[in-house]
């Protein structure tokens, strides 16, 4: 187990996601059953520590995407970046099945799926300095004030992400929710171990694919905010 040394009694873990149920089609169900034993990782039950070399079959810089959705963007980025390994983490089984299906169809040997709470993966299973990058694209904005504590970009989770990044590793975020974007910028700027790569909001990175979700946001007139911070 790789945990932080607590200075006081640990606070109860606050979930950053809505548990979702969704029907899984026959093709995705078949792909999940066939591909998961070799390409999937269950955060709650696959051992005392995350072994990237065992899961990917090689040692390479590792990118963790928190909340990979249906996997289209993750697969596209993995295809364009074969020198790094990509791990898409989500709680939505149909999306993870689709991610594995896309990986198989694209012949992507550098893409794997993790099922469960990404905060638990970071906190309990990953070693400090083991990640090259973390991507948090369009997370749940939890717009009601009483739910802001559930946002994934909050000080305690940002500190955890930063500790799992190697020095010089990057945390990249994107959102179409302006109030959340401002809170993200404030929270990330306040972390003493992170440095803003652009001084404010980042220009839209060319390597981040435009997803259906982003196209809907743009069609609705919402601005897309990108951020990029690096570990000092």
Indicate which residues carry an active-site annotation.
140
Close Cβ partners of 113 (under 8 Å, ≥ 6 residues apart): 36, 39, 40, 41, 68, 71, 87, 88, 89, 90, 96, 99, 100
| Strand, helix or coil for residue 211 | coil
**C-beta of residue 49 within 8 angstroms of C-beta of residue 127:** yes
**C-beta of residue 143 within 8 angstroms of C-beta of residue 21:** no
Which whole-number Å values give the CA distances from 196 to 125, 157, 219, in the listed order?
27, 17, 29
Close Cβ partners of 38 (under 8 Å, ≥ 6 residues apart): none
Distance of alpha carbon 99 from alpha carbon 230, whole angstroms: 27
């Amino acid at each position: 187990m790789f945990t932080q040394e607590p200075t006081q009694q640990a606070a109860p873990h606050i979930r950053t996601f809505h548990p979702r149920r969704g029907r899984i089609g026959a093709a995705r169900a078949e792909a999940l059953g066939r591909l998961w034993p070799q390409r999937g990782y269950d955060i709650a039950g696959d051992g005392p520590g995350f072994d990237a070399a065992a899961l990917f079959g090689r040692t390479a810089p590792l990118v963790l995407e928190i909340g990979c959705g249906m996997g289209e963007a993750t697969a596209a980025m993995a295809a364009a970046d074969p020198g790094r390994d990509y791990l898409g983490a989500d709680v939505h089984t149909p999306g993870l099945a689709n991610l594995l299906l896309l990986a198989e169809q694209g012949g992507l040997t550098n893409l794997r799926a993790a099922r469960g709470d990404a905060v638990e993966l970071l906190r309990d299973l990953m070693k400090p300095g083991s990640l090259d990058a973390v991507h948090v694209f369009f997370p749940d904005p939890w717009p009601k004030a009483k739910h802001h504590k559930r946002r994934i970009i909050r000080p305690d989770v940002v500190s955890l992400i930063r500790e799992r990044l190697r020095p010089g590793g990057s945390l990249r975020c994107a959102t179409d929710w302006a109030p959340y974007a401002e809170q993200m910028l404030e929270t990330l700027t306040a972390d003493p171990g992170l440095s803003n790569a652009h001084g404010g909001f980042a220009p839209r990175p060319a390597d981040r694919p435009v997803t259906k979700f982003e196209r809907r946001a743009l069609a609705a007139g919402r601005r897309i905010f990108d951020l990029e911070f690096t570990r000092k």
